[in-house]
Amino acid sequence: MNDLCIDVHHLNKHFGHHHAVKDFSLQVARGEIYGFLGPNGSGKTTSIRMMCGLITPDSGSGHCLGMDIFTQREAIKRRIGYMTQHFSMWENLTIRENLLFIARLHNLQQRRERVARTLAELGLESRQHQLAGALSGGWKQRMALAACMLHQPSLLFLDEPTAGVDPKARREFWHTLHQLSEEGVSILVSTHYMDEAERCHKVAYLSYGHLLANGTIPSIIQALNLTTMRITGAGLPALENRLQPFPVVEQTVIFGNNLFVTSRDEAQLTALITAVTGGSYAIAKVDTNLEDAFTWLMKNHDEKINN
Ligand SMILES: Nc1ncnc2c1ncn2[C@@H]1O[C@H](COP(=O)(O)OP(=O)(O)OP(=O)(O)O)[C@@H](O)[C@H]1O
């Protein structure tokens, strides 16, 4: 086995006439945290399910933990951990009882020891006797993570694990993911949160089943060659309306007292902003961020599809 825990090439999946995932290729190295982003329905869950052996691709090839995703699906399922978007648990059992029950369902040996170790690893010891139904969203997610780690998988697939979880609990959850990664666990995690994407070693972005970008965040942003200017002052919605019709303006967005304008041509954008604002605003060039990059990728892809 090489150093890649996921190595898939040209995967396709149709549901009836709907081509849900198109020519999908991805390589994930051991110990890497790989973020998986894209709008609702872009094919993230379907891609995850193909990579971890839950559904068979229509075409393509690939390996997960060195095992063939077409012919060794059962073996893959035993070796990975998969936290689905809608995990189920028994609300009237405690955390510990839930984990013991899941360990029994999976026919794991030394169940008590495994549960005790997982509770400790995930910081759940102090809560182990609490009823699952009474837990807050953050603790429920942590318990779900514990459930898919009982058999000590070296690769985790987490499908939107922190949806609806408050910022503090999300931070703590991500701290745990980084600890696991330090211990050599590879993690592929789908999310809609940009701050979570920025915590990953690498990210992939899907739209309408197409993988539009993947790699480190700086490499993705740099490849797009976008310039972003920040304009600070009053009357920003009106200014935004005036700037948007110019073809040199790729996209605009207001955050508080700042209007961010993104373009592929820095010189033309600077000239336009100077002409339109007439020197009455504070203007500065800023780094293009990941959200700008993904928004641009999606817009550009939409335009290509519609033309
Ligand atoms: N079992 C299925 N049968 C039919 N269509 C499906 C099935 N699973 C997924 N799809 C369709 O395939 C497309 C991709 O769905 P998928 O769940 O992979 O997207 P996603 O990016 O994970 O979305 P979300 O962010 O909402 O979870 C969607 O149009 C969805 O309706």
Closest ligand 1 atom, CA of 209?
A: 14
Annotate the chain with three-state secondary structure.
CCCEEEEEEEEEEEECCEEEEEEEEEEEECCCEEEEECCCCCCHHHHHHHHCCCCCCCEEEEEECCEECCCCHHHHHHHEEEECCCCCCCCCCEHHHHHHHHHHHCCCCCHHHHHHHHHHHCCCHHHCCCEHHHCCHHHHHHHHHHHCCCCCCCEEEEECCCCCCCHHHHHHHHHHHHHHHHCCCEEEEECCCHHHHCCCCEEEEEECCEEEEEECHHHHHHHHCCEEEEEECCCHHHHHHHHCCCCCCCEEEEECCEEEEEECCHHHHHHHHHHHHCCCCEEEEECCCHHHHHHHHHHHHHHHHHC
Please indicate whether residue 37, judged by its CB atom, sits closer than 6 Å to ligand 1. no
Ligand 1 centroid to 192 CA: how many Å?
Answer: 15
Smallest CA separation from ligand 1 atom 11, residue: 20
Q: Please work out whether the CB of residue 35 comes within 6 Å of at least one atom of ligand 1.
A: no
Q: What's residue 118's pLDDT?
A: 95
Q: Is 90 exceeded by the pLDDT of residue 138?
A: no
Does 287 score more than 90 pLDDT?
yes
pLDDT-based confidence at residue 231 (cuts at 50, 70, 90): very high
Assess whether the C-beta atom of 40 lies below 6 angstroms from ligand 1. yes
Question: Could you report the predicted ipTM of this complex, rounded to two decimals?
Answer: 0.96
pLDDT tens, position by position, 110-137 = 999 999 999 999 989 999 999 999 998 8
Q: All domains of the chain, ordered by start, with CATH?
A: 4-215 (3.40.50.300), 223-306 (3.30.70.250)
Q: How confident is the model at residue 2 (pLDDT cuts 50, 70, 90)?
A: low
pLDDT for position 169: 87
Q: Is the pLDDT of residue 55 over 80?
A: yes
pLDDT tens, residue by residue, 61-81 = 999 999 999 999 999 999 999
Would you say residue 1 has pLDDT above 60? Answer: no
pLDDT of residue 58 exceeding 60, the answer is: yes
What integer is the mean pLDDT of 15-43?
95
CA of residue 168 to ligand 1 center, whole Å: 29
Q: Check pLDDT > 90 for residue 88.
A: no
